[in-house]
Amino acid sequence: MHQTFDAALGIDLLHANQAGADHNRAHFDRWGITCLNVMSSPGAGKTALLEKTLAALYGELAIAVIEGDMTTELDADRLRQYGVPVVAINTGRSCHLDAQMVAGGIHTLEHQHNPKALDLVLVENVGNLVCPAEFEVGEHAKVALLSVTEGEDKPLKYPIMFQEADCLLITKIDLAPYLEVSIEQIAANVRQMNPDVTILPVSAKTGEGLQPWLDWIKARVQLIANTGNFQLSN
Amino acid sequence: MHQTFDAALGIDLLHANQAGADHNRAHFDRWGITCLNVMSSPGAGKTALLEKTLAALYGELAIAVIEGDMTTELDADRLRQYGVPVVAINTGRSCHLDAQMVAGGIHTLEHQHNPKALDLVLVENVGNLVCPAEFEVGEHAKVALLSVTEGEDKPLKYPIMFQEADCLLITKIDLAPYLEVSIEQIAANVRQMNPDVTILPVSAKTGEGLQPWLDWIKARVQLIANTGNFQLSN
């Protein structure tokens, strides 16, 4: 965990971040937008999954991406090819996105697009299996990825991310035949940390398992769209 | 980067950590021990590499391991099977080992073994490609692992770890044929961040590339042993 208390300023940084995240979420709710915070180790396949997701949902949902990376716009450029608004946030030396960074991304989106026309904002976090789990950014759900190449024991060794996740994608399942790894054992270890998480095995490369993931997103979007309408009507 | 300044206490946490790291290194130097800080994303193969390393160097070098994990002693138990002293440090919610945690590990080692009889202490850090790079623990060299499954672009997107590394192991090269990835391109991207780093492709599974890694370790140990002797004679 990060140093989260600045005694001189009297500010609990995690508490301040939470307030910022709630503020971001209020924006999303007012616009009827669902926000998903997508997190994993570096190289677990977040960007590849989002590429397939954007391609599959094109014309069906209006999506924007807030793309977090320490440096470069390599991932942002990959996703811009899918014809969606992508706001790149470079975190510099920071190992995670925080609510304030994402607020900046929201305001950029707001100035360049009509946010009310959007259904879904996908936040791709910095690749890190530890720190991003502790900093909400205003999301309605946390999506974590664990690739089969990372090994079966990761949910036990890095519990916080798995405890926090609403949806856990086991990625790169096309590589499982070349590894000494059991997808069932990974799922069992995830379940041990979080009995309620939705677990979806997927290969962005072959497309296997993509449809259940798209269905999960669409159900989430429907839920928030309904809630948003309800709030607006009051 | 973490919140590294506590204004109330007037302490720069990174500075305090550096002082602790220097203190740890002074201990190692006095005992003629080489300390390597082994870092990577979760699942890049740190423990598998250390298993092969301990097996290969058994009887040749006297090795101890300081094993950092957020929770569990799974990795520590794997390495204890190789007949070496292993001190497990659970970091709880912390995403990296710091100098103070490793100091605790050193004192445990000191009470249970004769440190002067050791040649090498391998510190296996928490799996995280960002944060551990900023917190020295008293090591003489930083070893970073990047698995071929993580993709070619990681050195560009997570530059600090690659800039800090003295030795960079490209791991799981046995999987390269099943991936759209070039080991040469990974190496070129690493080199772009750090022209002086030693780059060693390796597969812990097949043993390919293991010998150059063992040679690199032995050269490092020789270097420190010589320096240590020189210091003792003055």
Query: For B151-167, how does the pLDDT look when each residue is reduced to its tens digit (9 = 90+)?
Result: 999 999 999 999 999 99
Chain A: residues touching B (Cβ < 8 Å)? 1-4, 6-9, 13, 41-43, 69-72, 74-75, 92-95, 126-131, 134, 147, 149-151, 153-154, 156-160, 172, 175, 178-179
Q: Which of A153, A155, A97, A100 lies closest to A123, judged by CA?
A: A97
Q: Nearest CA of chain B to the CA of A222: how many Å?
A: 34
Cβ of B41 within 8 Å of Cβ of A129? The answer is yes
Q: Which amino acid is at B57?
A: L
State the average pLDDT over residues B193-205.
Answer: 98
Count of residues for chain A?
234
Residue of B nearest to A148 (CA): B43
Which ranges of B97-175 would DSSP assign to H, the alpha helix? Answer: 99-112, 154-157, 159-164
Q: Which residue has the tokens 């716009």?
A: A73
Contact B198, B170 (CB under 8 A): no
Query: Model confidence over B103-137: pLDDT tens digits?
Result: 999 999 999 889 999 999 999 999 999 999 999 99
The chain-wide mean pLDDT, for chain B, equals 93
User: Regarding beta strands A5-6 and A11-12, do their DSSP bridges make them parallel or antiparallel, or are they unpaired?
Assistant: antiparallel
Give me the helix-helix angle, A46-57 and A210-233, nearest 10°. 70
Other C-beta atoms lying within 10 Å of the C-beta of residue A232: 11
Cβ of B131 within 8 Å of Cβ of A129? The answer is no
Determine the pLDDT at residue A228. Answer: 57
Contact B53, B214 (CB under 8 A): yes
Output phi, psi for A3, to 5 deg: -65, 115
Please report the DSSP string for B163-192 in residue order: HH-SEEEEE-GGGGGGSS--HHHHHHHHHH
Q: Which amino acid is at A17?
A: N
Enter the pTM of the model: 0.92
Query: Model confidence over B58-103: pLDDT tens digits?
Result: 999 999 999 999 999 999 999 999 999 999 999 999 999 999 999 9
Tell me how far CA of residue B146 lies from CA of A25, A208, A222, B38, B75, in angstroms: 36, 26, 40, 11, 18
In whole angstroms, what is the distance from residue A214 CA to residue A30 CA? 24
Q: Which amino acid is at B49?
A: L
Q: Which of A4, A17, A40, A41 to mutate to test the interface with B (most CBs of B within 10 A)?
A: A41
Please report the DSSP string for B202-233 in residue order: --TTT-TTHHHHHHHHHHHHHHHHHHHHHHHH
Q: Which residues of A touch B94 (CB under 8 A)?
A: 1
Q: Which amino acid is at B68?
A: G
Q: Nearest CA of chain A to the CA of B111: how many Å?
A: 27
In whole angstroms, what is the distance from residue A100 CA to residue B122 CA? 38
Domain boundaries, chain B: 33-227
Output phi, psi for B33, to 5 deg: -100, 135
Per-position pLDDT tens, chain A of length 234: 455 555 444 457 888 999 999 999 999 999 999 999 999 999 999 999 999 999 999 999 999 999 999 999 999 999 999 999 999 999 999 999 999 999 999 999 999 889 999 999 999 999 999 999 999 999 999 999 999 999 999 999 999 999 999 999 999 999 999 999 999 999 999 999 999 999 999 999 999 999 999 999 999 999 988 775 444 433
- In words, the CATH class of domain A33-227 is alpha beta
Other C-beta atoms lying within 10 Å of the C-beta of residue A11: 12
Give this complex's ipTM. 0.90
Name the percent of chain B lying above pLDDT 90. 87
User: Regarding beta strands B34-39 and B120-124, do their DSSP bridges make them parallel or antiparallel, or are they unpaired?
Assistant: parallel
Cβ of B156 within 8 Å of Cβ of A72? The answer is yes
Determine the pLDDT at residue B12. Answer: 76
